[in-house]
Amino acid sequence: MTTAPTAAKGLEGVIAGETEICNVEQTSLIYRGYEIADLAANASFEEVAYLLLVGEKPTSSELAAFKAELVAERALPAQVCEFLKGSGDLVNNHNAVPMDILRTGVSILSHLDGDSQDNAPEANLRKSKRLLAQIPTIIGHMQNSIDGRDFVAPDASLSHSANLLKMMTGENPTPEAEKVMDVSLVLYAEHDYNASTFTSRIIASTLGDMHGAVTGAIAALKGKLHGGANEAAMDMLSDIRRDIGPENDTAKITEWMHNAFAEKRKLMGFGHRVYKNGDHRAPILHALGRKAAEARGDEFVKLFELGETVQKIMEDEKNIYPNVDFPCGMTYFTMGIPVPQYTPIFVASRITGWCAHIMEQHANNRLIRPRVAYVGPALRNWKS
Ligand code: CMC
């Protein structure tokens, strides 16, 4: 007698592959052997990007060469610029959101990349660097189009983080804003077999190309249960503020949350499939974001205080902790970044993790093709 196969819903607990890139554990988050708090305190985003893509920490000359390559690849082909010129209309007057524009922008890039059909390791590394350099330019140009401004050209004198902020606003960021952005990108860069990375590996496992795998990954990251949670977390705090009024009244916040619990609504930016005792990235970003809020003034401190009250109630009543997207929402808001760009900025970082995984998949490939437990109708005849 054969027993019916059972499925792990959401693949919970399933070990779906091997990787040398990252380890997400209850007690730690490690990129290629380095702990996340160590990287957040001591490494720049470009160093982390190199570590993930190449496999080792760069020497100073390797880092300088890597940065120069990224700077040289920031400009976009004319056809992508043409598309982005119309992106403001698509967002402002139609149904597009920035994550969709970014997904299409990456897809158009594939038509114009000389390496796009080549999955060889050298071609994949060249494409990884190009995508890493080009994605902030897509985000910047798109934001300028949404705001009805001319595009801001990439600034070769600026780091990945500072250039991203400048292209969105036209202004040089302060060193403090650059630092907060940089650390947030370090924190977001990689997270083993999360949904978008797994998507990218599935596409790569068919011998699909890097741009295709990244396009699919962007679509997966957009969802609110994954990367879209940083926007959703900020939207939720705005909803709470609208409903409770200008003061952080704990009783009103508690009532708001009890209503959400009663309606079985998920609070955005809380919970995690792996981390059940807290996300290691969250307190790092929270501390930085709060400092930025203190520098910006009362309105922003009050936002963090609201978030801290929500967090305390979640922890006390549900034993559920914030994930990195919760402080990210408050932090990017404090920095004046438009909410619909929070998840595209996540992409500007996670592109490194995706590309590292796509290269790892191509280097030791086997088609990812699991089985499923069939629970549909028993066999029947079409004609009867
Ligand atoms: N708000 C309220 N209750 C929650 C939440 C939440 N955010 N997260 C989990 N729970 C409850 C859930 O209702 C369930 O309760 P019960 O056992 O009574 O039914 C219990 O905790 C276990 O949750 P689960 O949904 O089985 O856990 P999961 O591993 O399937 O879900 C998750 C993980 C991230 C999808 C979920 O926590 C969630 O929907 N969170 C909100 C969205 C979010 O913040 N996503 C970002 C994820 S991490 C970073 C990233 O990917 O960008």
Ligand 1 atom nearest to CA at 10: 30
Residue 384 in domain:
no
Place of tokens 């496992």: 205
CA of residue 151 relative to chain centroid, distance: 24
Backbone angles phi, psi at 378, to 5 degrees: -70, 165
- Nearest-CA neighbor of 323 among 371, 284, 376, 377? 284
Backbone angles phi, psi at 328, to 5 degrees: -60, -45
Same domain as 355, residue 275: no
Residue 160 in domain:
yes
Q: Which two tokens stand for residue 340?
A: 């619909």
Nearest CA to ligand 1 atom 45: 225
Q: How far is the CA of 11 from the centre of ligand 1 (A)?
A: 15
Kindly give the pairing relationship between strand 29-31 and strand 22-24. Answer: antiparallel
Residue 14 in domain:
no
Same domain as 89, residue 205: yes
Nearest CA to ligand 1 atom 23: 271
Same domain as 147, residue 26: yes
Q: How far is the CA of 371 from the centre of ligand 1 (A)?
A: 25
CA of residue 134 relative to chain centroid, distance: 16
Domain that holds residue 184: 22-223+340-363
Helix boundaries (H) for the chain = 36-42, 45-54, 60-72, 78-85, 87-93, 98-112, 121-146, 160-169, 175-188, 195-205, 210-222, 229-244, 250-262, 281-296, 298-313, 325-334, 342-363
Nearest CA to ligand 1 atom 28: 273
Same domain as 304, residue 238: yes
Same domain as 206, residue 238: no
Ligand 1 atom nearest to CA at 324: 49
Three-state secondary-structure class, residue 322: strand
- Alpha-carbon dihedral 316, 317, 320, 326, rounded to 10 degrees: -80
Largest CA distance in the chain: 74
| pLDDT for the residue 289 | 98
Same domain as 218, residue 283: no
Q: How far is the CA of 342 from the centre of ligand 1 (A)?
A: 20
Q: How far is the CA of 119 from the centre of ligand 1 (A)?
A: 36
pTM: 0.97
Nearest CA to ligand 1 atom 42: 225
Site to substitute for ligand 1 among 226, 256, 266, 318, most atoms within 8 A of C-beta: 266
C-alpha R_g of the chain: 22
- Residues 324-351 as b/e (b if ≥16 CB within 10 A, e otherwise) read bbbbbbbbbbbbebbbbbbbbbbbbbbb
Site to substitute for ligand 1 among 36, 272, 315, 349, most atoms within 8 A of C-beta: 272
Site to substitute for ligand 1 among 225, 285, 315, most atoms within 8 A of C-beta: 225
Ligand 1 atom nearest to CA at 271: 37
- Nearest-CA neighbor of 344 among 46, 92, 72, 106? 106
Q: What is the pLDDT along the chain (384 residues), one digit of tens a residue?
A: 566 678 899 999 999 999 999 999 999 999 999 999 999 999 999 999 999 999 999 999 999 999 999 999 999 999 999 999 999 999 999 999 999 999 999 999 999 999 999 999 999 999 999 999 999 999 999 999 999 999 999 999 999 999 999 999 999 999 999 999 999 999 999 999 999 999 999 999 999 999 999 999 999 999 999 999 999 999 999 999 999 999 999 999 999 999 999 999 999 999 999 999 999 999 999 999 999 999 999 999 999 999 999 999 999 999 999 999 999 999 999 999 999 999 999 999 999 999 999 999 999 999 999 999 999 999 999 998
Q: How far is the CA of 165 from the centre of ligand 1 (A)?
A: 31
What CATH number has the domain bearing residue 157?
1.10.580.10
Same domain as 264, residue 207: no
CA distance 264 to 277: 21
Same domain as 237, residue 193: no
Residue 35 in domain:
yes
Residue 355 in domain:
yes
Q: Note whether 101 and 39 are within 8 A (CB).
A: no
CA distance 375 to 123: 43
Q: How far is the CA of 224 from the centre of ligand 1 (A)?
A: 11
Q: How far is the CA of 244 from the centre of ligand 1 (A)?
A: 24
Same domain as 246, residue 301: yes
Q: What count of Cα atoms within 13 Å lies in the side-chain half-sphere of residue 246?
A: 2
What is the set of active-site residues?
A: 226, 272, 325
Crossing angle (nearest 10°) for helices 281-296 and 175-188:
160
CA distances, 27 to each of 20, 22, 35, 277, 279 (Å): 18, 14, 11, 9, 9
What CATH number has the domain bearing residue 270?
1.10.230.10
Nearest CA to ligand 1 atom 39: 225
Residue 8 in domain:
no
Backbone angles phi, psi at 33, to 5 degrees: 95, -10
Q: What count of Cα atoms within 13 Å lies in the side-chain half-sphere of residue 327?
A: 27
CA distance 320 to 239: 20
Ligand 1 atom nearest to CA at 269: 44
Number of folded domains that form the chain = 2
| pLDDT for the residue 335 | 97
Ligand 1 atom nearest to CA at 323: 48
Residue 378 in domain:
no
Provide the β-strand partners of residue 29: 24
CA distance 263 to 232: 17
CA of residue 18 relative to chain centroid, distance: 22
Residue 376 in domain:
no
Same domain as 141, residue 34: yes
Around ligand 1, the residues with Cβ closer than 6 Å are 10, 194, 225-227, 229, 266-273, 320, 323-325
Same domain as 345, residue 316: no
Same domain as 189, residue 289: no
